[in-house]
């Protein structure tokens, strides 16, 4: 029996090795990249003019959005000039807080994540993960449109053997910091499958503030978490790449007098929590016209733990997220992601974090994304929606304090002239000084001057009307 298993394994490895040779330049590294299907941005100069409604107030003005792509370097700027229609005052909320004028630099990037030895992105961050995502997954550092932060995301590796991933959410203050060193100890061997083995350790901490206030983190030790993971590429051909991985993680107990007093007053207990997961991720290509990305992960977690704790809605209200750990109960669940891209023009993806039993102690999360570029060479549609804290899937598409949404339609009237509509459900500073989830509606027209480069990315398409 042992001899049969050994021969079968040898035959399987031989087949896989043959397939891997057929795969050409396709890497067999055991990586999972949620942004793998995004195209590169193009170089262009944009100026859009329009009427914007934020929290019931009307503003008129323009946004200058030059974007440059030179080899592996990318630069994007966002310069708003808006005036209140009624008071005629200049709207300067987007220049306050955060990092002031530096926020006009929307992003700077170098290289391609999970593909190049050096990848760096500075500015606004969206859809960021660390490792296989057990702690940080689909993270955004700027849920508030008013206070976009200037963060940093890097991935460095040396000869595909050792490397480090890092995330820093905001250069102004001590905020979310995540570091994951990793090693591929068998990379120099010629043994199929096992040569792709990747081992990583993640360390995440946060001593930052909420969008508008803080209580539990103030002058305390903050939030900290650790994780260990392992991944391997089972199959790597010109048609399909299949990666398997496992993770264990821990959310450490926050040492906060304010939090302890609040929990005691409400008869709640709170300790550190632990979670475990295993998953499969596949990426398929069909004759270059169709790309399919699918991921399924089984989750097991104990009391006082929530999977993917640092997610897209984490920055909306950190205090509320931490309080949810006090009542979080031991659960099992599933995380799934499915995306498809057709002819590099149409992309749709969806993700769901679904406990076996949804409750206030273990809520669900849903995300949907859409991109349809240059339909009929004239129309571009893009959008993204995220809803966390779900107690009932019937409310998955109800906008509230746990939602983030944007929808953008652009129609090219002439070669350099376009019109469009931008809708957002985001966190903005209102006239009374409060920061709340509110509508952001903006019809606009604009000028665009392409300077050459690749196809538009999701960043470019979604930000045309900002």
Domain residue extents for the chain:
2-462
103-147 pLDDT, tens per residue? 678 888 999 888 889 999 998 888 899 999 999 998 988 777 666
The residue ranking higher by pLDDT, 8 or 222, is 222
- Give the pLDDT band of residue 374 (cuts 50, 70, 90): confident
Tokens of residue 209, six digits = 């503030």
3-state secondary structure of 101: helix
The residue ranking higher by pLDDT, 10 or 176, is 176
Average pLDDT of the chain is: 81
- Using the predicted structure, report yes or no on whether residue 1 has a pLDDT greater than 70: no
- Give the pLDDT band of residue 42 (cuts 50, 70, 90): low
Give the burial class of 322: count Cβ atoms within 10 A of its Cβ; 0-12 exposed, 13-18 middle, 19 or more buried: buried
Tell me what pLDDT residue 252 has.
93
Cα–Cα distance, 346 to 128 (Å, whole number): 22
Tokens of residue 100, six digits = 């002031």
pTM of the full structure: 0.81
Report which listed range, 158-172, 387-401, 431-445, is most confident.
158-172
Q: Residue 76, Cβ neighbours under 10 Å: how many?
A: 21
152 neighbors 121 (Cβ within 8 angstroms): yes
3-state secondary structure of 265: helix
- Using the predicted structure, report yes or no on whether residue 40 has a pLDDT greater than 80: no
230-251: average pLDDT: 94
Among candidates 144, 164, 142, 128, which has minimal Cα distance to 32?
128
Tell me what pLDDT residue 345 has.
81
Tell me what pLDDT residue 146 has.
62
3-state secondary structure of 125: coil
429-458: average pLDDT: 66
Cα–Cα distance, 296 to 352 (Å, whole number): 10
20-38: average pLDDT: 64
Tell me what pLDDT residue 62 has.
82
Backbone angles phi, psi at 71, to 5 degrees: 55, -120
- Give the pLDDT band of residue 459 (cuts 50, 70, 90): very low
278-335 pLDDT, tens per residue? 999 998 888 778 889 999 999 999 999 999 999 988 888 888 888 888 888 898 999 9
pLDDT > 90: percent of the chain = 30
Lowest mean pLDDT among 40-44, 81-85, 103-107, 395-399: 40-44
173-182: average pLDDT: 90
65-91: average pLDDT: 84
The residue ranking higher by pLDDT, 194 or 96, is 194
Tell me what pLDDT residue 255 has.
82
153-168 pLDDT, tens per residue? 999 999 999 999 999 9
238-250: average pLDDT: 94
Cα–Cα distance, 368 to 336 (Å, whole number): 12
Tell me what pLDDT residue 139 has.
92
């Amino acid at each position: 029996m042992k001899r049969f298993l050994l021969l079968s394994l040898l035959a399987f490895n031989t087949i896989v090795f043959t397939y891997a040779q057929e795969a050409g330049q396709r890497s067999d590294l055991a990586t999972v990249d949620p942004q793998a299907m995004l195209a590169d941005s193009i170089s262009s100069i944009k100026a859009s003019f329009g009427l914007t409604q934020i929290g019931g107030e009307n503003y008129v003005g323009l946004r200058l959005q030059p974007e440059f792509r030179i080899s592996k370097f990318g630069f994007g700027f966002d310069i708003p000039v808006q005036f209140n229609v009624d008071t005629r005052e200049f709207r300067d909320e987007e220049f306050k807080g955060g990092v002031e004028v530096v926020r006009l630099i929307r992003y700077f990037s170098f290289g391609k994540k999970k593909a190049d030895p050096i990848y760096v992105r500075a500015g606004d961050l969206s859809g960021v993960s660390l490792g296989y995502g057990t702690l940080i997954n689909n993270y955004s550092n700027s849920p508030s449109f008013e206070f976009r932060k200037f963060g940093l995301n890097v991935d460095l590796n040396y000869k595909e053997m050792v490397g480090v991933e890092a995330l820093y959410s905001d250069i102004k203050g001590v905020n979310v910091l995540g570091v994951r060193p990793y090693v591929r100890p068998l990379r120099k061997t010629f043994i199929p499958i096992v040569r792709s083995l990747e081992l990583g350790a993640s360390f995440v901490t946060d001593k930052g503030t909420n969008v508008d206030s803080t209580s539990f983190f103030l002058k305390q030790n903050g939030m900290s978490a650790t994780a260990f993971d392992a991944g391997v590429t089972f199959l790597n051909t010109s048609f399909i790449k299949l990666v398997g991985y496992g993770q264990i993680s821990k959310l450490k107990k926050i040492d906060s007098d304010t939090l302890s007093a609040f929990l005691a007053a409400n008869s709640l207990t709170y300790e550190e929590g632990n979670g475990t997961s295993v998953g499969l991720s596949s990426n398929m290509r069909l004759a270059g016209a169709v790309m399919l990305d699918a991921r399924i992960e089984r989750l097991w977690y104990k009391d006082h733990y929530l999977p993917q704790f640092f997610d897209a809605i984490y920055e909306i209200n950190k205090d509320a997220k931490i309080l949810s750990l006090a009542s979080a109960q031991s659960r099992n669940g599933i995380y799934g992601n499915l995306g498809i891209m057709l002819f590099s023009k149409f992309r749709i993806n969806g993700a769901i974090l679904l406990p076996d039993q949804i409750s206030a102690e273990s809520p669900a999360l849903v995300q949907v994304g859409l991109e349809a570029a240059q339909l009929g060479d004239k129309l571009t549609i893009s959008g993204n929606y995220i809803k966390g804290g779900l107690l009932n899937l019937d409310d998955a598409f109800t906008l509230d304090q746990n939602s983030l949404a944007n929808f953008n339609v652009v129609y090219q009237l002439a070669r350099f002239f376009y019109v469009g509509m931008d809708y957002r459900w985001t966190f903005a500073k209102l006239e009374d000084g409060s920061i709340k989830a509110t509508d952001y509606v903006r019809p606009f027209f604009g000028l665009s001057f392409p300077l050459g480069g690749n196809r538009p990315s999701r960043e470019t398409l979604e930000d045309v009307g900002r």
